[in-house]
Structure 1
Amino acid sequence: MNFVAIRTLILCTFVAGLTLAATSVGTQASSPKTQSEPARLLGNVEVTNRLVTLGDLFHNAGDLSNKAVFRAPSLGQSGTIRAYRVLDAARRAGLTRIAPTDVAIVKVERASEVVTEHDVVEQLKGILRSRSLVSGDGRVDVELTTRLVDQHAVPGTMQPFDIRNLRFDRTTGRFSFNLLVAGRSDIGAVRITGSALETVLTPVLTRNMRPGEIVTESDVIMTPLPLNKAQQANPALMDEVIGKSATRTLRAGIIVNAAYFSEPEIINRSDVVSIIFKAGKLTLSMRGKALASGSKGDVISVQNTQTNKILRGEVTGPGIVQIGPISNQIASLGVPIQ
């Protein structure tokens, strides 16, 4: 059965959908026991059973409270009936002492428990986890290919719906099962299909990037992706890429991998730099020229512009290169050794 076509018809009028139960109980019932007070017609009625009784329709129906006089609307639906028809049915069923009323139309609503797509999906996830078809603590994204509209089940049942004959393909994530709604023999078993994929929040690039551009927090968004796809891409942690520089052209939507980024270059070739030497309390500084570009932590060659000597030092900040305590490098700074 195609679930899209399954629609519970809303009753616009109670008259067309209800049948007098008098056809099954006879045209005239025996007289009830004496009522202490006359019965009073109710204007709004909620019922839980398939039949509407005098006790549903009247306050103080006495011994005739359980007498069925109409069929109820479908589960979750409502209908109306003119008061004179209700009064006529009540008298034919034996309820003779009825108080005068201003009620012209009686509205009857059939109580139900609504079964939503969310309810079904959550139960499906629970079944998949309990059968170890997906990990117990992993995130599972379910997409139904069968449209599932809200359905009305019999209220008060322990299990308003049931998932049966579940089939699941671990490789593709495709599934199918039969959905049974409590008290809904009119729709029978509904075939539901879809896919359930275990996902993990994965860093994804939000924009195209050129080599050398610096990654900011707005450039990366955590997106749920299939677990297998994410694992194959070896995604980076957020703090491994924020503030880093792209080493290649990158397109929006790719999974962020640490190999695509490096520390940004804070010294460019031919930049004027400060060459710093530290040894204990001694700190020496001299202007120099970078002979190569470098990021923080890189070791590059610099030229002392006073002596033209070439030194090797570590980039410690923008425009700053620090050299180690080697005597010939100290001499190259142009400062006499004490």
Structure 2
Amino acid sequence: MKRLVFFLVLALLPGLAGAEALDVLIEEKARAEFGATLPDTGEFEITLKAGGLEEAVMLSAFWMDRATGQFVANAVTGEGELRRVTGLALLTVPVPVPVRRLMPEEIIAEADLRVLRLPHGRVGSFAVTRVEDLVGMQVRSLLAQGRPVMAQSVQAPRIIDRGDKVAIRYTDGLLELTAPGRALADAHRGQEVKIVNLVSNASVVGIATAEGVVEVTR
């Protein structure tokens, strides 16, 4: 009786009668499980239990652990049989990782990176996922070979080091003056930095705009 019901369902729903590769059906269900949270670059690696079903007309039920990718599904065969299938639908994303150990103070070059597809669950929310967001950045803390790079482990390159002599540019929209100064902290481009004017001995805060240059706007 159960087989007859399946045959009736297949007959009444055009387009379901042709069997498809089971991994394709599994991926469709897995994508639906993630919905809007699925990364644009996400891809699934489907692994089915050896010796199991390879094709099915449809999946009548699907359960999945999003954290591990393990799934259980009920597949309907072309003969109308209901078969239980299990396996792994592992979501992976492309992530740039260092090809060698990178030390603090180094500037990251494109040749220092390669892109690997890693399980989504292993890529933390603070991992940098685009090559262009790493190239040209300065290493703050040791980067291990083959491991995702955390955003807090890199920074924009410093253009001023603490103790450096700098040129202080004072501007008020009409007038521009320059005075010698000394940096009291490190700074990268666009960062605020405290400096001391070596003429007046007064401390001021400005913006590091170029190597050895700090602008102060009145």
Give runs of aligned pairs for residues 1-338 of structure 1, distance below 5 A.
119-129=21-31, 132-135=32-35, 139-144=43-48, 146=50, 161-162=55-56, 168-171=63-66, 172-175=68-71, 193-230=86-123, 232-236=124-128, 238=130, 240-296=133-189, 297-304=191-198, 307=199, 309-312=201-204, 313-325=206-218
Q: How far 1:121 sits from its partner (Å)? A: 2.1
- Percent identical across equivalent pairs? 26
- Which amino acid is the alignment partner of residue 236 of structure 1? V
- Which amino acid is the alignment partner of residue 121 of structure 1? D
* Aligned partners of 2:60 and 2:76 also within 8 Å: no
Larger Rg: 1
- 1:233 is paired with a residue of what secondary structure? coil
* Aligned partners of 2:75 and 2:84 also within 8 Å: yes
Structure 1 runs, 4 residues or longer, greater than 6 Å off: 163-167, 177-183, 189-192
Q: Which stretches in structure 2 are left out of the alignment for 5+ residues?
A: 1-18
Q: How far 1:142 sits from its partner (Å)? A: 1.2
- 1:135 is paired with a residue of what secondary structure? helix
* Aligned partners of 2:65 and 2:71 also within 8 Å: no
Q: How far 1:315 sits from its partner (Å)? A: 1.4
- 2:177 is paired with a residue of what secondary structure? strand
- 1:289 is paired with a residue of what secondary structure? strand
* Aligned partners of 1:300 and 1:315 also within 8 Å: no
Q: How far 1:317 sits from its partner (Å)? A: 0.7
> When the two structures are aligned, how many residues end up with a matched partner?
188
- Which amino acid is the alignment partner of residue 276 of structure 1? R
* Aligned partners of 1:290 and 1:303 also within 8 Å: no
Normalising by structure 2, we get a TM-score of 0.64
- 2:35 is paired with a residue of what secondary structure? coil
Q: How far 1:123 sits from its partner (Å)? A: 3.3
Counterpart in the other structure of 2:13: none
Q: How far 1:166 sits from its partner (Å)? A: 7.0
For residues 162 and 34 of structure 2, the distance between their equivalents in structure 1, rounded to whole angstroms, comes to 53
For residues 213 and 201 of structure 2, the distance between their equivalents in structure 1, rounded to whole angstroms, comes to 17
For residues 279 and 177 of structure 1, the distance between their equivalents in structure 2, rounded to whole angstroms, comes to 70
For residues 94 and 169 of structure 2, the distance between their equivalents in structure 1, rounded to whole angstroms, comes to 44
Q: How far 1:178 sits from its partner (Å)? A: 8.7
Q: Which stretches in structure 1 are left out of the alignment for 5+ residues?
A: 1-114, 152-160, 184-188, 326-338
Q: How far 1:195 sits from its partner (Å)? A: 1.0
Q: How far 1:318 sits from its partner (Å)? A: 0.3
For residues 294 and 134 of structure 1, the distance between their equivalents in structure 2, rounded to whole angstroms, comes to 41
Greater relative contact order (CA < 8 Å, ≥ 6 in sequence)? 2
For residues 221 and 168 of structure 1, the distance between their equivalents in structure 2, rounded to whole angstroms, comes to 34
* Aligned partners of 1:199 and 1:225 also within 8 Å: yes
- 1:126 is paired with a residue of what secondary structure? helix
**How much is the aligned-residue C-alpha RMSD, in angstroms?**
3.8
Q: How far 1:196 sits from its partner (Å)? A: 0.6
